[in-house]
Amino acid sequence: MPDHPRPDRAELIDIYRTMRTIREFEERLHAEFPGGEIPGAVHLYAGQEAVAAGVCTVLTDEDYVASTHRGHGHAIAKGCDVTAMMLEIYGKAGGLCDGKGGSMHIADFDRGMLGANGVAAGGVPLSCGSALSAKVRGTDQVSVAFVGDGGANQGAFAESLVLASVWQLPVVFVVEDNGYAQATGTRFHLGGRDIAPRAEALGIPAVVVDGYDVLAVREAAAEAVLRARSSEGPTLLDCKAHRFFGHMEGWDQQAYRADGEVDRLVAERDCLRLFADTAIVRQTLTTAELADVDAAVRVLIDHAVDESKSAKDPDIGELLTDVYVTY
């Protein structure tokens, strides 16, 4: 890969830090949610960290990401400020969107983060729009659309694939097939085993990727991004990685999952542990260095939660600021 050779030491640490930050962020939210201070719906990304980290490590700040309702991991991997994200989820002043968006509407245009999205597959057409804008303006920006297996059944997803194909847009569709759309398993809703062939039918190169293997995701994403930057059009990555928690915090008893399914996932398919066990990481980084990252991330997340709990609510006078936009 000319643009993305083997990851060097600094990139390996960055990838690990990103995945650890997402994991710690989500585990902490899971622990805090029952306390009742977090308003709105919260969908956790734990288990799927390798997808966001593997894709975003090959993007620049100028590239775009359109996210989903399960968007914390994408935002962290795209470089959004973690404390400002936590403040946002707590609905507090100083949040990334001034506390008005919450978990499902985190956006940060300075980082190319076009937003989480409460509408399943809602971000996918936005990616086509931003990719078209980049193409018309003649920049080399790439646009990434994250979408779930359930979202991939939306008409907007199919329409976006067609537009991206006929207009040869610099877009990468990243399907996160985590096995379920809410409580409905993919064997009941997918109509086939993979989503990749839907793209191939439209002439879009597509590949199925082990979504627990961050280096495999990185390699597939690097190829897709290079294709997009070289005006060779869209690619679809069909990443398989299941979530560790329920669909959303607060009500999902996960009765639709097999006995021991989650325990097996955590024991055998933890992307952080798998990454630490790869030959390249074992040859490059020490366990002490990884532990230092873990400790620093714990401090960061503690700080983010403390700040969020003690921060003020947004000023009522700001209620309509930034809500309506004139063009």
Ligand X SMILES: Cc1ncc(C[n+]2csc(CCOP(=O)(O)OP(=O)(O)O)c2C)c(N)n1
Task: Give the footprint of Mg ion on this chain (CB under 5 A).
Answer: 148-150, 178, 181
User: Which residue, 26 or 149, is less far from ligand X as judged by CB?
Assistant: 149
Q: Which amino acid is present at 234? A: P
Q: Which does 129 bind (CB under 5 to 8 A by kind): Mg ion, ligand X, none?
A: none
Rounded to the nearest whole angstrom, what is the least distance from the CB of residue 279 to ligand X in the complex? Answer: 31
Q: Which does 295 bind (CB under 5 to 8 A by kind): Mg ion, ligand X, none?
A: none
Neighbours of 78 (CB within 10 A): 24
Q: Which does 125 bind (CB under 5 to 8 A by kind): ligand X, Mg ion, none?
A: none
Rounded to the nearest whole angstrom, what is the least distance from the CB of residue 34 to ligand X in the complex? Answer: 20
Distance CA(124)–CA(26), nearest Å, equals: 24
Residues that bind ligand X (CB under 6 A): 69-70, 118-120, 148-151, 178, 180-182, 247
Q: Which does 120 bind (CB under 5 to 8 A by kind): Mg ion, ligand X, none?
A: ligand X
Rounded to the nearest whole angstrom, what is the least distance from the CB of residue 219 to ligand X in the complex? Answer: 23
Rounded to the nearest whole angstrom, what is the least distance from the CB of residue 174 to Mg ion in the complex? Answer: 13
Strand boundaries in the chain, DSSP class E: 64-66, 113-115, 143-148, 171-177, 180-181, 184-185, 206-210, 235-240
User: Which residue, 119 or 201, is less far from ligand X as judged by CB?
Assistant: 119
User: Which residue, 85 or 156, is less far from ligand X as judged by CB?
Assistant: 156
Residue nearest to Mg ion (CB): 148
User: Which residue, 141 or 153, is less far from ligand X as judged by CB?
Assistant: 153
Dihedral (Cα; 207, 212, 218, 220), 10-degree rounding: -10
User: Which residue, 181 or 208, is less far from ligand X as judged by CB?
Assistant: 181
Rounded to the nearest whole angstrom, what is the least distance from the CB of residue 293 to ligand X in the complex? Answer: 26
Residue 88: is it exposed, middle or buried by C-beta count within 10 angstroms (0-12/13-18/19+)?
buried
Distance CA(65)–CA(76), nearest Å, equals: 11
Residue 113 φ/ψ, nearest 5 degrees: -90, 105
Strand boundaries in 32-189, DSSP class E: 64-66, 113-115, 143-148, 171-177, 180-181, 184-185
